[in-house]
Amino acid sequence: MADSEVRLENEAAQSTSALGPLIGVAREDFVSAVALLLRETASDPTRFIRHSTAMAQDMVKILTGKSELAPDPKDKRFMDPAWAFNPFFRAGAQYYLAVQKGMRSWLEELELDELERNRANFIANIILDGLAPTNTLAGNPTAQKRLIDSGGLSLIKGLQNAYNDLVHNKGMVSQVDKRPFKLGENVATSKGAVVLRTEMMELIHYAPTTDDVYEIPQLTIPPQINKMYINDLSPDKSVVKWQVDNGIQTFVISWRNPTKEQGRWGMTDYVHSCREAMEAVAAITGAKKVNVSAGCSGGQTAAMLASKLAADGSDLLGTLTLMVCVLHPKATDIEAGSLVSENGMKLARQRAQKAGVIKADDLARGFAWLRPNDLVWNYVINNYLLGADPPAFDVLFWNADATNLSASLMGDFLTIYETLAFTKPGEVEMVDHKIDLSKVTSDLFILGGVTDHITPWKATYRSTQLFGSKDVTYVLSQSGHMQAILNPPTNPKAKYYVQKKKGKLPATPDAWLQGTEEVKGSWWPAWMEWVQARSGKTKPAPEALGNDTYQPLDPAPGLYVIEEV
């Protein structure tokens, strides 16, 4: 695989779609952010003149060949030697860098609070990324060399790729070559069967691969806008395979892709489905408790489920594993979060309610333009200017296979964000109870990712302080978002951080980090040891999937993952 393909894979895989406050960003929020910049510019004409003069001086230096502006050596856009040795391209890069320097210098002088500054920086970066000369054939020496070397075929292929995206991908540049992947054949291949199907979900029971299994089973709750097979992408990075190979009775929920008519599905419905799945798992395995794991928005759903079970006095929940999940968000966690406004969320709700659902394509498009350098311009250059196919990468195949989001669930997620529901015990009512995580006493395992841009690790760490649990483990995995989870023992670069001394976790992530040690290898074995220690005794593995009440229906990964809406 070419280095460029590896780079595309790594960058995009750390920017996979995820639910969060960004679903509440309305186009008016972008307009108001730009208006803020214009207003601040007009408020002090002398400042504008001063920065314009400084930029003009940089331009003169570029014209006379005296400019010392040079790209950051780590900036992948300017790696081609032509940027350093060709006078035309060197000047082009310097013009861009002069504009970049001038804008950043100007932003530093604006009198803004932290939230406004994050908003201004975020919008400015989107604008600057779009202005990069590398985004055009005339300004990209690598693309020009490819054009000459290929005898013009790269341009023809690029135009062909652009046409295909326009016709078949609703105008969005493709991030993945989907052709090599087929569900059940080389993706989602673990053996299992659907043992419960409702209007909202399928429950999949995976076949054991060991002679003995642990008494207490594990149920995984996936995010609502992504399909469940992220847990079973390929044999070498399948969380499902890892669990069954280590004697864990493994069950996974597969959410149905909601249509407009199902836009009424809200958090109450999803939590009810999770509870129904837990009761089925307990009935099938004969266990009194069910361990639960969940990631991203599935983690928020699992936390709500745990709160509801505690409020009802149920002891069905065993341990709880939360991966790359934020329960205590702050507007300054990520720069894009600064765009979210009360009015914007109101407008986003209204539009979603009118449509019934937020379409998967619209979610993907909106998310991509929040990180345009990684998720748009990278692929414009690769697919259109270089005439290359996007990489064939399983994580990106899964990410492109997104689902719709029901309007009601979107509203509930925004309510959780607005009210900070998980941080206010007994104050916010949702899912027919007053949310109170302090009543949840299950042992907790919480995972964050070092370079996670979607759910920053310090934000995920705050969850350690919300529960009433006495046994809380926090692990910081390398990489970002889904790559932090999909970090199996076969990854030679894998490493993670844990607290050196066992005991109560510090109140802040910075204090925790000071007391950590780096461990080489994957965090999966450590997690599995933790799960097994809390899964009871072992017993002979069942000979069949499901039971008389919950009989096997269709083979894994089920029908809902392939159902088209």
Of the candidates 172, 177, 173, 232, the residue with the CA atom closest to the CA atom of residue 207: 232
8 A C-beta contact, residue 338 and residue 312 = no
Q: CA-to-CA distance for 363 and 375, rounded, in angstroms?
A: 13
Cα 233 from chain centroid (whole Å):
16
Question: Which amino acid belongs to residue 158?
Answer: G
Q: Which residue in 18, 33, 253, 296 is the catalytic one? A: 296
Residue bearing tokens 């002979």: 540
114 vs 32, 79, 106, 155, 477, CA distance in Å?
A: 16, 33, 16, 44, 28
Question: Which amino acid belongs to residue 345?
Answer: M
Of the candidates 303, 294, 327, the residue with the CA atom closest to the CA atom of residue 417: 327
Of the candidates 122, 108, 136, 126, the residue with the CA atom closest to the CA atom of residue 40: 108
Which residues lie across from 498 on neighbouring strands? 517
Our CA dihedral for 447, 449, 450, 456, rounded to 10 degrees, sits at -100
Q: CA-to-CA distance for 32 and 35, rounded, in angstroms?
A: 5
160 vs 163, 251, 414, CA distance in Å?
A: 5, 43, 40
- Whether the ω angle into residue 557 lies within 30 degrees of 0, i.e. cis, is yes
Q: CA-to-CA distance for 13 and 25, rounded, in angstroms?
A: 23
8 A C-beta contact, residue 444 and residue 464 = yes
Q: Tokens in use for 361?
A: 């394509």
Q: Tokens in use for 539?
A: 């017993």
Q: Tokens in use for 23?
A: 């679903």
Alpha-helical runs (H) found in 338-490: 342-355, 360-368, 372, 378-379, 394-400, 407-419, 457-461, 481-485
Which residues lie across from 496 on neighbouring strands? 477, 519
Q: Is 296 a catalytic residue?
A: yes
Q: Tell me how crowded residue 149 is: count the other CB atoms within 10 A of its CB.
A: 10
Whole-angstrom Cα Rg for the chain? 25
Of the candidates 302, 295, 351, the residue with the CA atom closest to the CA atom of residue 527: 295
Q: CA-to-CA distance for 420 and 114, rounded, in angstroms?
A: 20
With the C-alpha atoms ordered 52, 57, 60, 62, is the resulting torsion angle positive or negative?
Answer: negative
Exposed, middle or buried by CB within 10 Å (0-12, 13-18, 19+), for 340? buried
Exposed, middle or buried by CB within 10 Å (0-12, 13-18, 19+), for 480? buried
DSSP state of 463: G
546 vs 166, 192, 309, CA distance in Å?
A: 45, 10, 24
Which residues form the catalytic set? Answer: 296
